[in-house]
Amino acid sequence: MMAPPLTRDAYRDVGRYVVDQSVIAIDLRDNTNLWGVPPAAGRAIAASAAAVSRYPRIYASALKDALAAYAGVTPDMIVTGCGSDDVIDSALRAVADPGQRMAHLDPTFPTALTFAQMNGLIPAGVPLTGSWDADADALIATGARVIYLCSPNNPTGTMVSRESLERLAMHAPGVVIVDEAYAEYARTSAADLTGPGSRVLVLRTLSKAFGLAGLRIGYAIGAPDLIAGIEKSRGPYKVSVVAEHAAIAALTTDAPWVRARIAETIANRGQLAGRLAALGLRALPSGANFLFVPTPQAAPIERCLWECGVGVRLYTGLRGIGDAIRMTVGPWYLMASLIQALERATGRSAAMDGPAV
């Protein structure tokens, strides 16, 4: 019996993607850490084998302590989950009832909208402003029980301004969820808005800067009463033994390694943006580990890159934007290959006078 034809997203084999008859050797689609697993975390994963026959801690208490120390808060302000997606799901279930609205930026992280609909909420999209900020007054005017913000925003990489965050924290009719999956690359956070009595919940993940996407470790920072409510809706045993041990190692022993990779990513991000501009591709200002490029030629460029063995994310018909491509920033040798493929796709040349760092 003949096997079904292969498609771009059909099969994954140790990080290499088979597309038609070609192999995608460089995958820049999912914004994970292209430097790989932090070294101490890798050793912790190997050493955890003997513990996997037992259940993990019910609420990942040791991990909560490490995350609280990293975030500069107390452990009762931390809730963990199986990735930040799981924390979004638990938070929506805890703070909103079916039939209520969840206002959000449009465009934004689509999985958040999926969880809103799964929990019976009605998504209400509000377009970004002309300066790529959140329209705080328009979000407040929806009367939504939950306002979901992604900052840096996925897919655009742009930031919600501090002014908008403070206005929403003060005047939103319900809970404000600020998804900071990429906060380490922005070097700014709304975590200071989560004090006692606050209705602001800040989401974080170890899938990006910490290189642990496959272990699914997410967390949120919030006022203790808000966190307690979310933890009731979360359920036990959400973080595995292996994930907890690796996460603690990454947060502590691996901290210098993580900081160095963040700095390298930021440097390469600026260098890559300049090379893209030389090719006539202007990326939006990014606070994340990726660049987002609106262009009417997004689809043919993406197809050409696939043919060159480079995968990027294609977007079509985004509100207020149109078509675009998004690419993860990683080690410069990968970015050099991306630029070479883009030169072929655009028929233009970008100066290649050395690495970013």
Domain boundaries, the chain: 12-30+255-346, 39-251
Determine contact, residues 78/221, Cβ cutoff 8 Å: yes
Cα 37 from chain centre: 17
The pLDDT confidence band at residue 25, using thresholds 50, 70 and 90, is confident
Of 275, 267, 282, the residue nearest 336 (C-alpha): 275
Of 164, 156, 145, 163, the residue nearest 319 (C-alpha): 156
What single-letter DSSP state applies at residue 349?
-
Q: Name beta bridge partners: 28.
A: none
CA distance 239 to 248: 12
pLDDT at 16: 42
pLDDT at 269: 98
pLDDT at 235: 87
pLDDT of residue 9 exceeding 70:
no
The chain-wide mean pLDDT, for the chain, equals 92
Dmax (CA) for the chain in angstroms is 63
pLDDT of residue 353 exceeding 80:
no
- Report domain 39-251's class: alpha beta
pLDDT of residue 1 exceeding 50:
no
Among all chains, which residue has been given the structure tokens 């994954």?
A: 12
pLDDT tens digits, residue range 111-151?
Answer: 999 999 999 999 999 999 999 999 999 999 999 999 999 99
Relative to beta strand 12-13, strand 16-19 is antiparallel
The tokens of 184 are what? 């380490």
The tokens of 203 are what? 């989401």
Q: What is the CATH number of domain 12-30+255-346?
A: 3.90.1150.10
Percent of the chain with pLDDT over 70: 92
Over range 238-255, report the average pLDDT: 97
pLDDT at 350: 80
Determine contact, residues 107/318, Cβ cutoff 8 Å: yes
The upper half-sphere exposure of residue 120, i.e. CA atoms within 13 Å in the direction of its Cβ, equals 8
CA distance 153 to 157: 5
pLDDT at 23: 59
Q: Name beta bridge partners: 175.
A: 146
pLDDT of residue 81 exceeding 70:
yes
The pLDDT confidence band at residue 87, using thresholds 50, 70 and 90, is very high
Percent of the chain with pLDDT over 90: 88
What single-letter DSSP state applies at residue 213?
G
pLDDT tens digits, residue range 162-214?
Answer: 999 999 999 999 999 999 999 999 999 999 999 999 999 999 999 999 999 99
